[in-house]
Structure 1
């Protein structure tokens, strides 16, 4: 942590920091554990990040916490110049015997704490990519206009997507109202729920981190959870016991994995295009 960032963190927290340790594992941000006033704190930052990056992440964490469904790290401070976020330290633990059930039931409770509509009052980010949350009247419109189409355009500008991929995605856009499943109210989404964004606290309970929140279809979170694995069948069973899933939800999983797959194309390159095309082949 450089002197400028350290000074900004100390101003925001209202005291000197010490016992600082660099943390490994982040793909996007730098992170540290430190002490301030006898309390351990988690801080993350990224050089060159948009000034609003951690402000909107803080808003997202608070928005999730409002549902009182699953534990979310408490926001202590954030800054824009330089950009950083300070959160309560979550002491790592091991999953307790009821972890999977608690996660499934808690996620159902989170989704049931419905927002006002499909979208959000402000834009935010998924990883380092901008995420437009301008509300739409219905879910299929939102999913195409605010999720798939913007990622397609980013990939085209980077030379990663060709005319063939555009044609396939536009074919999908034409039938999205039929492919998106039964109409449902918007759910309060984490928005980037892979296993790396799920922590385990000292009591063995699940903790949500690094969200990309908005009001959307609840199957978005479930599809992301299945994209890279790490979640047991019991999580989904427990979810379904609390908030039963609509028929065909498993068949819609590839549809809702298209967004994170396109995000990965734009973050990490064309190696993820094969996954995009495989998902498209299962929904067209």
Structure 2
């Protein structure tokens, strides 16, 4: 019996009768549990379970699907099990519609009340009043001490010019923050849940850039999401650079070429 499974059962006030580890969690442990009374749940560790719980609740409050938070402590997050028997490939249109709904929920400033993390990589969410400042300082320049000098200089050059490349005050949309297809659950041609969020308020194109990092959403997605602002293609590399830098820091030099490609595409 894993400690995490036992913690989840205790938080639900039930007797644990079955536990099964689940794959897919590079940065946290995930187990599925069943209690003696028949209840099932997923139990996650993570950098900040209470913060993740608040993010899932924010997504649900915006009208997008997210697993219900059943219990949470400093050590574990317990969430409902959602149907996930299908792939995103059959549900691109539904994802576009739901993401538009999520992004329609806006905040007053760019950022989030709490910092977060991808494993050992900090996600700095301190609020900013203009978008280029937030993206430059909180998403790009924070990586400079952790990458080779040649990349660092190019990042600094790009960050210094963001006021000429990014809109100053786009809607401060509620972002999922880590929206790759592995964090989207689907079943029967519908999206059933957005999971593993790293939420903050920012330009909605950031989520689309992440969704496009290792592939490209179908035409149905873009038709359902709605028109993107002029210059979207030019901003795509700037917004893709942050997850590429995160991958470089987490998984090593194999991702350096991705970082360099986005810097070059962005003209840095």
Normalising by the residue count of structure 1, what TM-score does the alignment of the two structures yield?
Answer: 0.87
After superposition, where does 1:1-284 map in structure 2 within 5 Å? 1-2=1-2, 4-36=3-35, 37-45=37-45, 50=47, 53-68=48-63, 70-80=64-74, 83-94=75-86, 99-153=91-145, 155=146, 161-181=147-167, 183-201=169-187, 204-229=190-215, 231-240=217-226, 244-284=227-267
d(CA) in 1 for partners of 2:198, 2:247 = 14
Pair 96,230 (structure 1): closer, same or farther in 2 beyond 3 Å: closer
CA 165–116 in structure 1, closer or farther in 2 if over 3 Å, else same: same
SS in 2 for 1:164: helix
User: Following the alignment from structure 2 to structure 1, what is the Cα–Cα distance between the partners of residues 81 and 38?
Assistant: 12
| CA distance in structure 1 between the partners assigned to 2:66 and 2:114 by the alignment | 20
State the SS of the aligned residue for 1:43. strand
CA distance in 1, matches of 2:120, 2:256: 19
Once the 2 structures are TM-superposed, how far is the Cα of residue 8 of structure 1 from its aligned partner?
A: 2.4
* 1:175/1:56 CA distance change after superposition, 3 Å: same
- Counterparts of 1:42 and 1:60, CA distance in 2: 16
Q: Which runs of 5+ in 2 are unaligned?
A: none
Any runs of at least 4 consecutive aligned residues in structure 1 with deviations exceeding 3 A, and if so which? 4-7, 95-98, 201-204
> How many angstroms apart in 1 are the aligned matches of 2:14 and 2:220?
44
Aligned to 1:158: none
CA gap 1:118/1:261 in 2 versus in 1, 3 angstroms: same
**Deviation sequence 1:66-125 (CA, Å, 0-9, x none):** 101x21000111222xx2211000122225997222110110110011122100111112
- Residue 184 to residue 265, structure 1, CA distance change in 2 (3 Å): same
* Secondary structure in 2 matching 1:250: helix
SS at match of 2:215: coil
Residue aligned with 1:29, SS: coil
Residue pair 2:131, 2:168 contacting (<8 A) in 1 also: no
Measure the CA separation in 2 of the matches of 1:181 and 1:94.
37
TM-score (normalizing by structure 2): 0.92
CA distance in 1, matches of 2:120, 2:150: 27
Tell me the alpha carbon deviations over residues 185-242 of structure 1, each in whole angstroms, 9 at most, x when there is no partner. 21100000001111114673342000000001111100001001263231122111xx
Indicate the SS of the match to 1:91: coil
Structure 1: gaps of 5 or more residues: 156-160
- Structure 1 contact 195–229 (Cα < 8 Å) conserved: no
